Structure 1
Amino acid sequence: MQFDRFLNKAVSRLSGGSDADDPRPVPRGAPADDLRGSGSWANEWGAAKGAIERAKSLAAGGKAPKRRSGVVAQNIPEGTVRTKPLMTTRDIKLHSWLQDRLEAEAPTCTIHAGVALNAFLVSAEANEEYDPLCNLTVDLLIADDQGQPLVALIHENRVDSHKQLLMLDALLDADMPIIDIQPRPVLSAMWAEIAANLPED
């Protein structure tokens, strides 16, 4: 099963690799627990194992998520998921610059990258089958020390203009200040727009 495969992989990762990968012979008669000292394995893995078991229990009694086509998704085929950069090199530089500026002039505020709209907006139209905010993401979000969103920074989405319009519509409906990230932004002008929406204290 998928969870068993994940559990085995996670245990192998946390313990430094599988037995097959370890060239060192394990002394006969030595308990497996003795390979990790002072119960560290149990402390390190206990929370993750508990989370997996809870998810497994919920999956057994709950409804399987549906794909866009309406076909029930039973699992994720092994080897089909990979990582990708959260930001481009240029966006990383912009993020770092804004973070430094916030630390100097608004230290109670934080900046976040790639934030889903339904993480900081709530739609009255959302229900179990449909959420109009689903799959909509802002490039950067500035929040105060209470987690309250203050400013959304977004790039122009030339690939999917419809999604761009939906996102703008949602942000405007929530009275969320929006700052457009230009291909070559003028940092002083961008900061002036951001500063106008930050707490004065």
Structure 2
Amino acid sequence: MVDRGSLQAFFDEEDGVTLVEALLVTPIVILAITVMVELGVAMFQWNQSVKAIQIGARAASVSEPLMTWETYEAAMMSDWSGTNEGDPTPVAAVTISCGAGSSPCDSDGMDRLLTGGDGACGEGGLPIGMCDVAPWIRAENVLVTYSRSGLGYVGRPCGPVSTVTVELSDVEVELLFLDRVLELFIPDRSPFEKITIPRHRVSATSEDLSNSNKSC
């Protein structure tokens, strides 16, 4: 028969309580710290990606179209027949795109947009390109759209004025170790290794759309 006093002493025993509490709390603390680190890295890459789009839009607005001049002008001047030089630009909406999800852009033009012209991502000379700021951006992530702005006039020497939009899509942030930590607690789960950044776009009004120093 179990002595009542011994049983009470067993229930009153507190040795090892701290260890048990630590074993219960430690996984939660590790998971919380991991999530905070991963979110911090993801937000940094997200912010850098948005900054890269701004740089890309600015560069595209002062560079030659990323498709051929003939293709660009054929679209922008598609309804200029019957107009006279000096007339206001027609107001009908016209757009032409190249890049992600569309027809390919000129490879040299896209390289200039991404690398700034030095052919390499990362720190380098000026001007800087999109992947100098966000090295994870690739040509297949970038869509460039030229839309008629309604500015300018028929016969403008440097071509029609357009609104240049640079859009980023399908950019994924790779998680450092959250997937491995989750695997310790939830072995049978879907892989969680990447986060896709939502689509972002930035627009700028074109200036001379030229790679040279000529001015309009």
TM-score by length of 2: 0.17
Greater relative contact order (CA < 8 Å, ≥ 6 in sequence): 2
TM-score by length of 1: 0.18
| Structure label with greater radius of gyration | 2
